[in-house]
A and B are shown apart, each in its own frame.
Chain A
């Protein structure tokens, strides 16, 4: 393999990593970015999505003929969205709605929730990792040139993340619910005065963010481990993307994931994985010194 194909491969890997980071961060960009909830249980909501895929896979393997097995993943995605979304709804209704505007308490409470969810999964499915198999149609590769093959799985993730992003934009900027969500997150009191049911909008928004976490968990079960702790592997990256991009803007999450993904893969190409991470963290710290509110800061007239 020549160094050109290595570099092209790395460019693709960078793009692929960006899409994974964006998928992880998209839900958090809603719950943390728009609503301001420091949601430490985001990783565990992802984990619920992964386990949803696992349960459905087992159902398909046991109950249906082998030729249908490849389809389980198509159904696993909406199932994961619903499971994590419902868990998020429950979490918002029972706990988070009592804690709006108190970020420190929210942080502790959601951290507690994350521990509870981890232990719950450990009780139900055991402490060991479980095996989620890729369906056959995601196992192939697209042969571009000699030495340059793009795995279908990574191409699928890029396509899926783009679709999610597109739908999120459509929802936020083209529907009545989106208008209400933006209104409530920008000025809660004024929206309430104008008759927007803010409590209901809060609950829907949080459930939506959680559902997106479910999507991410479901997809990543094909790339990484599925176990009670697997949510912890992604939580730092998710927050880093949202904070770097700028809290409160969807475009921020895109920029954040793009910058972190590409620089991480770039640094890793000519140093090591550990040094790559160190350099990315250094870069993020330096950047936030220069621009504390991220790439796309929210413009607010009032002082928070």
Chain B
């Protein structure tokens, strides 16, 4: 574009300078007045960003999050919006490419001046955009469970921290299914960190590690892994496999004759959407730990599931990240209403301690660490691809971003300036 000019609508050099100046102005404003403020004031719509991969390898998971976030925005708009203003979503597709995530965040924050972005799925994409949000004081709302050990002032984590998913799952397995664990994961940051946590916990709670194996993302040939599992004779397999490999693993495990009665698999990245691709008949009897299942019995969930399926099709399913993506938009709207402003710093302040009756039950944004109080559940896969909840905590569990076994003294507390070491 820089070398060839025609008479079309290509931006002129003057436009470019203007935009740059405007961006710098925004940057300056962010420093002076406490954050970007969702477009002009008055009755103009409030602009928010939606940034999930709609193409590439992650589209399989992230497309549903875009859908449900648009649905939540529609709900809020139908009730008159927030502060008397409508909400205008700006949807960007970062195409499963981590640098593109960073670029799109910059575009959303600096050019569109959105005061919040709902986005990301993989930890890799979150890590890629983190510096952009921190530098420009934007707000990211992140709806997926993750490996923890992060404490940012610019991210609201509405998925589970490790102590709200992995920890309780390990404890439950030790009590109910056996002590001998085989750890199987995809080879990247989340499974390796998660397995570090699990190994610490096994030591502390009297479990035994009989094998540990990582397969590349997209791995499709599990015969050797299955054979190794057969020889190691574990009582449970704890799986942190992500993506398409899950389908291959469950199908080939089943073909080798190992059913959930022989060796149950506990997964933390297999939800209703993934079971649909594996097939309920193959995955039946295996477990997953989440905060939400489509089968959770609350009045809010019934309404939510009906609405989602009426809007997007009878064959669609809801699952944990979809539900978190949904309620985080409502938490955001409540925060904006309470703040009476669309400035980032004010939204953040108002959001802390905010509660919402979500489909999974009551959720609350922790007043100190920007993570979410959530109920922990363990589900058993049924033949129809849905889950039977076999265990749940009595109420929402406090999120602990830093792993207590690796970092016993570390805490995330923004009333004390972020990550702190307790003495």
Contacts and interface: CB of A to CB of B under 8 A. Distances in A.
B224 A229 contact: no
A127 B255 contact: no
B251 A223 contact: yes
B213 A272 contact: yes
Interface in B54-68: 54-57, 59-60, 63-64
A274 B187 contact: yes
Interface string B256-287: 11000000000000000110111111100000
B220 A141 contact: no
A224 B225 contact: no
Contact of A122 (B59, B225, B254, B282): B59
Give the interface residue-count category, chain B: 35 or more
Interface stretch (A103-111, A128-136, A165-173, A174-182): A128-136
Contact of A1 (B233, B248, B278, B279): B233
Contact of B277 (A16, A131, A273): A131
B57 A223 contact: no
A243 interface: no
Task: With a 10 A CB-CB cut-off, give which of A3, A6, A273 has the most chain B CB atoms.
Answer: A273
A7 to B, nearest CB: 10
B215 A141 contact: no
A119 interface: yes
A99 interface: no
A16 B224 CA distance: 11
Interface in B241-256: 244-248, 251-252, 254-256
A151 interface: yes
Contacts of B251: 134, 222-224
Contact of B244 (A6, A131, A134, A230): A230
Contacts of A10: 224, 227
A268 B244 contact: no
Contact of A273 (B55, B216, B252): B216
A147 interface: yes
Given A131-B276, A274-B187, A147 B247 contact: no
A228 B54 CA distance: 12
A128 B276 contact: yes
A263 interface: no
Interface string A82-113: 00000000000000000000000000000000
Given A9-B227, A16-B223, A234-B220, A128 B215 contact: no
B244 A224 contact: yes
B263 to A, nearest CB: 13
B224 A223 contact: no
Task: With a 10 A CB-CB cut-off, give which of B55, B64, B223 has the most chain A CB atoms.
Answer: B223
Nearest to A119: B55
A127 B233 CA distance: 37
Contacts of B254: 139
Given A128-B273, A265-B223, A227 B244 contact: yes
A232 B55 CA distance: 13
B216 A130 contact: no
Given A265-B224, A269-B224, A223 B252 contact: yes
Contacts of A198: none
A268 B225 CA distance: 8
A132 B278 CA distance: 8
Given A127-B64, A276-B224, 20 more contacts: A10-B227, A128-B277, A129-B244, A131-B277, A131-B280, A133-B279, A134-B255, A141-B257, A149-B256, A151-B255, A225-B220, A228-B60, A265-B224, A272-B213, A273-B213, A273-B214, A273-B224, A274-B187, A274-B215, A274-B216
11 contacts: A1-B231, A119-B55, A127-B64, A129-B244, A131-B276, A153-B255, A224-B247, A227-B277, A229-B57, A229-B59, A273-B224
